């Protein structure tokens, strides 16, 4: 399990339009609502819809966060699109006791073998959940549920208000997708 009493650094890997930046922001808002310190920010370049993007979150339960650089040695990596695994080294710099959370239909052992993932691994078919619950294959809120299940970085309920504020009339569907992913995520040590 990730030591949430220390500074936790999370790197999100997605594609433009999948909501990685939104996920990072929502997670930071939830942490702040719990009295923690948090920051979220994207890495922008010449990205376009569908191009690989990065977003970052830092959460500290004890002290303000003064670091402002990109996260190069994350504790957790969240992969919104498993199609990135063969083209992006998502585990670059991942700490030895880190965790990878992947949106995939494949079994964890298959992901481990195909992509040499030797860290703790959580898998979830977030795309199917998003299609069923939201009606679109946008996996950002679904992956938040898997992240919370795997790390307990914040309480699931702490996301309800940020989701309601961000998604308005679509909030309940996003909350339901997040809850379902929380229940269905498979976490392997």
Which pTM was predicted? 0.94
Express each pLDDT in 125-145 by its tens digit: 999 999 999 999 999 999 999
pLDDT band per the 50, 70, 90 thresholds, residue 16: confident
Domain map (residue ranges) of the chain: 8-188
Give me the half-sphere count of Cα atoms (radius 13 Å) on the Cβ side of residue 110: 7
Q: Taking 80 as the threshold, does the pLDDT of residue 94 lie above it?
A: yes
Q: Taking 80 as the threshold, does the pLDDT of residue 49 lie above it?
A: no
Its sign, for the CA torsion 57, 123, 185, 4, is negative
Q: What is the mean pLDDT of residues 57-75?
A: 94
> What's the token pair of residue 8?
């936790």
**Kindly report the CA angle at 187 between 181 and 189, in degrees rounded to 5?**
165
CATH of 8-188, one of 3.40.50.970, 2.60.40.1660, 3.40.920.10, 3.40.50.720: 3.40.920.10
> What is the pLDDT, as a whole number, of residue 4?
74
Contact 76, 10 (CB under 8 A): yes
Phi/psi zone of residue 51: left (φ > 0), alpha (ψ -120 to 50 degrees), beta?
Answer: beta
């Amino acid at each position: 399990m990730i030591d949430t009493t220390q500074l936790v650094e999370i790197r999100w890997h997605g594609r433009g339009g999948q909501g990685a930046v939104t996920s990072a922001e929502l997670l930071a808002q939830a942490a702040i609502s719990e009295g923690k310190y948090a920051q979220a920010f994207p890495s922008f370049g010449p990205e376009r819809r569908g191009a690989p993007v990065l977003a970052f979150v830092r959460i500290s339960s004890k002290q303000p966060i003064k670091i402002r650089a990109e996260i190069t040695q994350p504790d957790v990596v969240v992969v919104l699109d498993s199609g990135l695994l063969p083209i992006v080294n998502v585990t670059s710099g991942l700490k030895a006791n880190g965790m990878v959370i992947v949106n995939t239909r494949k079994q964890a052992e298959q992901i481990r073998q195909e992509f040499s993932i030797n860290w703790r691994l959580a898998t979830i078919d977030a795309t199917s959940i998003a299609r069923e619950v939201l009606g679109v294959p946008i996996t950002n809120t679904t992956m938040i549920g898997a992240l919370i299940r795997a790390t307990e970085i914040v309480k699931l309920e702490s996301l309800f208000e940020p989701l309601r504020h961000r998604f308005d009339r679509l909030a309940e569907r996003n909350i339901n997708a997040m809850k379902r992913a929380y229940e269905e995520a498979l976490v392997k040590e």
